[in-house]
Amino acid sequence: MYKCAAIQMASSPSVSANLIRAENLIAEVAKEGAKLVALPENFALMGDNEMDKVRVKEVYGTGQIQDFLAAVAKKYAVWVIGGTIPIAGDNANKVRAACLMFNDQGEQVGRYDKMHLFDVNVPGTNEVYSESNTIEPGAETEIFATPFGRIGLAVCYDLRFPEFFRKMSKQGVDILVIPSAFTLETGAAHWELLLRARAIENLCYVIAPNQGGFHLNGRKTFGHSMIIDPWGVVLDCYKTGSGFACADIDHDRLAKVRNAFPVLNHRRFYCD
């Protein structure tokens, strides 16, 4: 049994200020005994405009944000999943929204690039998002063997595509980690509903760190970072502002649910 944490932030346009806040929260959850810590999407930067992330992008393997993640993972002896950070891609005017995982020695051991990009008009609001203007999509799901189980990484808008998670289920995922920055409106309508559905239909744990609060760029995010068990039970939830949800990953519980209710063995249709 391992304790994990989903950290919630209300990130600003200041990378340095966000990193200070992230470390303070990581230190808090480490004191609580957490061994696996996940940060939200855009934890290091919620810019004044979409091009801000292009201006602070890093080359894969080096840079202020990546160095920070490696350092705090080693300092606090925790595995850290670094939400998303802007990594240089093929297009000089775009970035990859990369979710990086570091082990407790500070070594980078996993990467997933956000595949589904948030190009939408939010119903009932004047909010318009066009992530494809500044982000290159990833192309592959990623599963990583860890001491906590097989972890699958996803980011925010990915949550709305069940076939994406079914593919990871077929690959034997035990824990889904879904760093996000759900808007206030879409979060209120769908956040918990979608997270619990992904946990239930794939019989796995879900760790969902979200942005939560009012941001200096005028954006409002929903918060309610949570950890959910394979039966869809919300084990902990942190509603608004900076903080964290914390709960245990219990592999006996995971095995018991899967053995008693073998939905994954009853599938009749399979994705590629």
Burial of 270 (0-12, 13-18, 19+ CB in 10 A): exposed
Q: In 3D, which of 30, 31, 33, 56 has the Cα closest to residue 43?
A: 56
d(CA 177, CA 15): 23
**Are 110 and 153 spatial neighbours (Cβ–Cβ below 8 Å)?**
yes
DSSP strands (E only) in the chain: 2-8, 36-39, 79-82, 85-88, 95-102, 108-113, 119-121, 128-130, 135-136, 143-146, 149-153, 175-177, 205-208, 212-214, 220-222, 225-228, 234-238, 243-249
Q: Hey, what amino acid is at 104?
A: D
Q: For 187-243, give the secondary structure using H, E and C.
A: HHHHHHHHHHHHHHHHCCEEEECEEEEECCCCCEEECCEEEECCCCCEEEEECCCCE
Residues 6+ apart with CB under 8 A from 246: 3, 4, 5, 6, 29, 32, 34, 227, 236
Q: Which two three-digit tokens encode residue 116?
A: 């589904």
Active site amino acids:
41, 114, 156
